[in-house]
Structure 1
Amino acid sequence: MVEHSLFESQPPKKSRTFLPKNTLNSVKVSLYRCLSLSVILLFQILVLNFFLGATSNSVSIHTRIVQEKPKILPLPSLQNEECQSGKVYVYDLPVMFNKELIDNCQDLDPWHSRCNAVSNYGFGPITAGLSAGMPENLAPAWYWTDMFAGEIIYHSRMMKHKCRTTEPELATAFYIPFYAGLAVAKYLFTNYTVKERDWHSVMLLKWLQDQPYWQISNGSDHFIMLGRMTWDFRRSKNQDWGSSFIYMPLMKQILRLCVERNPWDHLEISVPYPTGFHPKSKSDLDQWLNFVQTRNRTNLFTFVGGKRKVKSDFRSLLSTHCYNESDSCHIVDCSGTRCYDGTWEILEAFLDSDFCLQPRGDSHTRKSTFDCMLAGSIPVFFWKRSIYNQYQWFLTDEPENFSVFIDRRDVRSGVSIKKVLQGYDRERIRRMRQKVVEFIPRFVYNYIGSDEMGNTEDAFDLAIDGVLKRFKEEKRYKNAEFQEE
């Protein structure tokens, strides 16, 4: 462009001056030489600028790559470096999938308001005091936490997690903060259509499939937390219970954290139900562990639950059994709604007992199992599906080390629960209780922003670490397969 403008531009007009012919020729030659030299000089300047610019750009790009490299590829040799398994990107979903559900908390249940249950980042209201005999300075660590509040707790904690990234290109995993359990809850117990039960889930997946990082992986590096049991999202026929969220095509590769998993689904990981204890410091946790470890227990076993008006109700059988063994068993009758919002009487019963009876609830698992273990009591199961193939990341896969199994069919046939439990000597009970107490830090959920916990990992930390490690291993395996091909 510069050379073109030099040759094509017209010089300004000047008045004519007559010179001798030789002089005129000499001037022409001089002008021609000057013009040629100018063009050559200009060309050299352009070439020099080009190379200098390219060098500068390459240095700048190289510097930027060197600066960003540690963020993208953490050095595996640095053993103390955080987030070695990767980072998590949290989708900023439209508010209809989370915040709006909490804002309209009075509509989450067809019978009463759920606003307390979803308040305070999902931890619920702080308790109005502690039961007699409990450490008073632990009162700020106790909340009336709802058993289905996990979706809110996980979202709240994830937003402050040390391995959260706001740059999706740096992420190993993508978290979908959709409150699926809250969205479907009010449609479960009344005569709503299947379209209404599925509406939020359908809209969420429509939004998700348009996201660029979803399109890259088709969801294979995405995960979600479901605050209800998996069975609430597995409707296969229109007349069946729940939503069909899990069976929707786009859910085929999404990893799911849920309070009760389908043991035959490799994409589901069971995570503990939230209890009411949310320590804010290592001191809180240590004090509670010492308290339950040294507690003087006056009952052999306890049963917390209510009778149900169904044929051959096993809970009714346990209740009768407990009443008949009142010298060894303490019972808390939760018929109706008496225990719906929690009561200190439940915790006291667990604290005073060596064992706690844990029949199946609405499904095979119960929140009561974790309330029982939080008090240092040893759970007694009657269905293997209540504990086997559940919570392995948190309680290990050897339930016999911290729990007792008595087949429900044996109880129906007349086997005495009291006699079975009396067969465990004090040393065996001590060892089992020690194992239960060791698990407490692994299944409680620390309060949000608890910066004084040291290196203690809670249920949330273990869940997210497990997800990241799983995605990292799967990616490594896929890369190895690709290289072999």
Structure 2
Amino acid sequence: LYFPCCSSSSSSVPIMLPSENSSPRKTFKKLRNSFHLIKSQVGFHHCKWFFLIILIQVTFILFLAGTSPPAIPLPHQHQHQHQQISKPQKQSIHQQKQSKDQVQISKPQKQRIHQKKQSKDQLQILQDSKPKNKYQKQSKNQLQNMPKKDQQKQLVHDECESGRVYVYDLPTKFNKDLLNNCHDLDPWSSRCNAVSNGGLGPKATGLDSIVPENLRSAWYWTDMYSAEVIYHERILNHKCRTLNPQNATAFYIPFYAGFAIGKILWFTTAKERDRPSELMLEWVKDQPYWNQNHGSDHFLMLGRLTWAFRRKTDADSDWGTSFLRMPLMKNVLRLSIEKNPWDDLEVSVPYPTAFHPQFETEIKEWQDLVRSSNRSSHFCFVGAVRKKIKNDFREVLMNYCKNETGSCKIVDCSVTHCYDGAPAILEAFLDSDFCLQPKGDGFTRRSMFDCMMAGSIPVYFWEGSFKTQYEWHLPSPSEDYSVYMDHTDVRNDTNIIRKVLDKFTKDDVRKMREILIDAMPKYLYARSNQGLGSSNDAFDIAIDEVLKRFKQQREQKQKQILEETRKDEKSIE
């Protein structure tokens, strides 16, 4: 044999193996001589490198054997994980086939068992809470990186992030038929003008010397009790309206309660006054989505003051209807032009005024006119004395203003027709720094908003006229843009009016007026079904706040259900 790897650099030594015919002794000697010859001829360092190379190769092989296998490609990796996950499932199936004593219920199984026990209403709520849009939780910065189609979808979703509203298709006797029979809505006069133009009323006239020509189309003689029609017209075209009740966060009941009761407030029994409301509730209670939350996600608009719907007894002599005291109304949210301060389910919204712009530019032009108006009167009073009321406070104000002819401007509504609006009213408010606002049929009156719309600062005499009222629409605190003096103090000394108002400097008045001007879009109703673009009007704000309220209410209910689920899981364990 020849060992080339072990040979020296100087020579190579052949090694001859013994032949078959050699004797054992001779063969052994030859082998021994051969090995001696190798030892003497082969360099040790050559063999050292040979064994070192072998050692390195063996080490490398062992290293490869100890490393992890190559990474599995992503699709196969999912399959691999699925196979691993499926093993416990197979084991669970096998366990279910065993006897009851050997069955072990896992935590997910407990949850499934518990979910079966949940009511259909609760499960529906949980399903509705799931995100409906894959971009729902992304920020505005991420929105810019989306495709244009997805951006449009996301913008629509963001506009309705608090949910959507479903409008009930009530039988027409509860709304449209009332308008069609508008001559019968009042025992003394026709109300057809009041309900015309979607509740805005007839076009205003006689404003040529007061309102610029390009803004006159925005003015109407609007009835102060027409909000039910205005809200119904607007909500049918609202951006967040849904035709699918399963997608709704809020349910709107378009019942014209104010008009329904207005025609029977006088010369009728208590039972007759309650009948329209009872019939409406009988219809609504049979709707599946009413029973889902017992009416707690339903709302309606009341065009009259809340006090007309709160009769306490069944006596025919008592005023109004008991609509809001009926058992089925105990969970329903009510929007009203004046709220009951002690009722958490009632929210006040602004009275409709005469100004109904269609575009934002019209608002800005009117704001500029109000800001630059030259006011010659310190304060004004618009109203009429109610002779049937003993010690009527309006008579106190009227007599005081007659004695303050240099400071107070009067519009006597017993002489001037003021019910739906008049040029003289707008002119008086535009010409005065302050406007005196006593109580109306309730604590509030429509004149408060006519006054503010003209940039005149309201002066209140009852806390109920401003406290807890219109919190969604008017700035806070009220002291920044209004004045309060107690009616009792004024009765004792009417001169207190002038003394209090004289304390305000011109700069104070300007700052207070500027707050009213800036907030103006929030307490007017646009005449466009699409609102005013980027500026939310009184209707937009009201619907947005209703949706926010119901969304929060739903989330709290979901949280409660989840907490109950966890408790049940622990009890099963």
TM-score normalised by length of structure 2: 0.71
The separation in 2 between residues aligned to 1:279 and 1:136, in whole angstroms, is 13
Q: Letter of the aligned partner of 1:332 in structure 2? A: V
Q: 1:144 maps to what in 2?
A: 221
Structure 2 CA distance for aligned equivalents of residues 151 and 414 of structure 1: 41
For residue 75 of structure 1, report the CA deviation from its aligned partner: 1.2
Secondary structure at the counterpart of residue 555 of structure 2:
helix
Equivalence for 2:280: 204
Aligned residue for 2:512?
Answer: 432
Map of 1:212-251 to 2, 5 A cutoff? 212-237=288-313, 238=315, 239-251=317-329
CA-to-partner distance for each residue in 1:409-461, whole Å, 9 max, x for gaps? Answer: 1111114211210110111111110111112100000003356x321000000
The separation in 1 between residues aligned to 2:200 and 2:554, in whole angstroms, is 35
| Structure 1 pair 450–480 and aligned structure 2 pair: CA distance change class (3 A) | closer
Structure-to-structure mapping, 1:67-86, within 5 angstroms: 71=132, 75-77=136-138, 80=155, 81-86=158-163
Q: C-alpha offsets along residues 195-252 of structure 1, whole Å, 9 cap, x if unaligned? A: 2111110000000010010011110100000001100000011231100000000000
Deviates more, 1:367-376 or 1:426-435: 426-435
Aligned to 1:300: 378
* Partner Cα distance (1:109, 1:448) in 2: 28
Alignment counterpart, residue 459 of structure 1, candidates 538, 543, 553:
538
Deviation (angstroms), 1:396: 3.2
Q: How does 1:271-290 map to 2 (within 5 A)?
A: 271-290=349-368
Change (3 A) 1:337 1:74: farther
Instruction: Indicate the residue corresponding to 1:41 in structure 2.
Output: none
Deviation, 1:477, is 1.2
Query: What does residue range 69-468 of structure 1 map to in structure 2 within 5 Å?
Result: 71=132, 75-77=136-138, 80=155, 81-188=158-265, 190-237=266-313, 238=315, 239-309=317-387, 310-335=389-414, 338-416=417-495, 417-450=497-530, 453-468=532-547
CA contact (8 A) 1:308 1:316 kept: yes
Q: d(CA) in 1 for partners of 2:249 and 2:318?
A: 36
Percent identity reads 55
Distance across 2 between alignment mates of 1:115 and 1:393: 31
Deviations 1:106-163 (A, max 9, x none): 0000000000001111011112352414211001101111000000000000000000
Counterpart CA distance in 1 for 2:139 and 2:323 is 41
User: Partner of 2:190: helix, strand, or coil?
Assistant: coil
Q: Aligned equivalents of 1:214 and 1:77: distance in 2?
A: 33
Q: In the alignment, is the contact (CA less than 8 A) between 1:389 and 1:397 conserved in 2?
A: no
Q: Which amino acid aligns with 1:110?
A: P
Shifted more, 130-139 versus 377-386: the winner is 130-139
**Structure 1 vs Structure 2 CA RMSD:** 1.5
Name which one, 1 or 2, has greater alpha-carbon Rg.
2
2:159 alignment partner AA: E
Q: Deviations along 1:336-357, whole A, 9 cap, x unmatched?
A: 7721232100000000000000
Correspondence for 1:45: none
- Distance, in Å, in 2 between the alignment partners of 1:120 and 1:134 is 21
Separation in structure 2 between the aligned mates of residue 412 and residue 292 of structure 1, nearest angstrom: 32
- Change beyond 3 A, Cα 1:280–1:268: same
Moved more, 168-177 or 72-81: 72-81
Give the drift of 1:78: 5.5
Taking the aligned partners of 2:512 and 2:530, their CA distance within structure 1 comes to 29
**C-alpha distance after superposition, 1:231-283 (max 9, x if no partner):** 00000112311000000000000000000000110000000000011001011
Unaligned runs of 5+ in 1: 1-68
Partner residue, 1:31: none
Are the aligned partners of 1:222 and 1:254 in contact in 2 as well (CA < 8 Å)? yes
Letter in 1 for 2:175: N
Tell me if the contact between 1:129 and 1:139 (Cα under 8 Å) persists in the aligned partners.
no
User: Structure 1-normalised TM-score?
Assistant: 0.83
Count of paired positions: 415
CA contact (8 A) 1:131 1:344 kept: no
CA drift at 1:479:
1.3
State how far apart, in whole Å, the 2-side matches of 1:341 and 1:478 are.
Answer: 44
- Structure 2 unaligned segments of length 5 or more: list them: 1-129, 141-154, 565-573
How many Å separate the matches in 2 of 1:282 and 1:308?
40
Q: Letter of the aligned partner of 1:77 in structure 2?
A: Q
Secondary structure class of the residue paired with 1:303: strand
Counterpart contact for 2:210–2:427, Cα < 8 Å: no
Verify the 8 A CA contact 1:298 1:352 in the aligned structure 2: yes
Distance 1:251 1:136 in 2: 47
Q: 1:268 to 1:155 in 2, by over 3 A?
A: same
Cα distance in 2 for residues equivalent to 1:194 and 1:104:
23
Q: For residues 231 and 215 of structure 1, what CA distance do their matches in structure 2 show?
A: 28
In structure 2, what is the Cα distance between the partners aligned to 1:203 and 1:396?
A: 39
Q: Label 1:134 to 1:103 Cα distance change in 2 as closer, same or farther (>3 A).
A: same
Higher mean C-alpha deviation, range 312-321 or range 120-129: 120-129
* Secondary structure at 1:126 match in 2: coil
Q: C-alpha separation between the residues in 2 aligned to 1:77 and 1:470?
A: 23
Aligned-partner Cα distance in 1 for 2:133–2:201: 38
Counterpart of 2:159 in 1: which secondary structure? coil
Quote how far apart the aligned CAs of 1:308 are.
1.2
Cα distance, 1:74 vs structure 2: 7.4
